[in-house]
Structure 1
């Protein structure tokens, strides 16, 4: 049986589930009835996901409310108003606010990215080719001709495989 979702604010069982699409990205928030009412979710004037992520200044420690990014000058108030951070350094500056929210919305608090399989294969080919060519030059300069011939043959085969892969694209 699935584990019931907990409120992102207070950890009570969530009964209100919100989905907001910002810049083609889906953001989900789960709230209990009480927190949803406190956040004004039922208010027809609307709400912002940033309002849910950033506690009002009256509930935050004064030093957190006064935070501003040393790189771009973005303040917590601006983040709350727009729902956007100014630069990459903002993630460190506002980590105490952003990281718990990210952990609740995503599998982690850092983006690891993805590499397309073909790009990964191409990079592997290129790396191997560079290693072989360096090894070939070193084998020739140290007069290890049998090793050099083996590396030359491997380079030829690798280039053929790269050409075949390029034709498939």
Structure 2
């Protein structure tokens, strides 16, 4: 598909605008999207800043005004303006403000991505055990003790397999 603006280059940017319920879609090339950015009124730092300011029902104590990452010197205010952290240590030093933000955006502050089939055997088994424990808890609450016993036995089998492979904690 060609860019809807210049009709020359392939479109690689899809912009959807919804204004007062009216939806408009644009398919633009990189150059036209860059030229139109002020008109589109979208930037990643502004988007992140909007997320940072939106905290309904969430009370987070702001770090003291002078608190900064001890490694790179980045302050939370600087992160708020740019939407970028300075180094991996910023997560530790600014955790009081970053954890709630990451939870709100991602749903969790702990990575739960895919596990490679070849290398992730133990991790896959541990996740299966976690899932089964949650299921076991539900079954006990529902007083389905026969099914709960089967799930309990499956958990034990998986834990034994982990122990044999040396993949315990």
Alignment TM class, shorter chain as reference: 0.3 to 0.5
TM-score under structure 2 length normalisation? 0.35
Highest Rg: 1 or 2?
A: 1
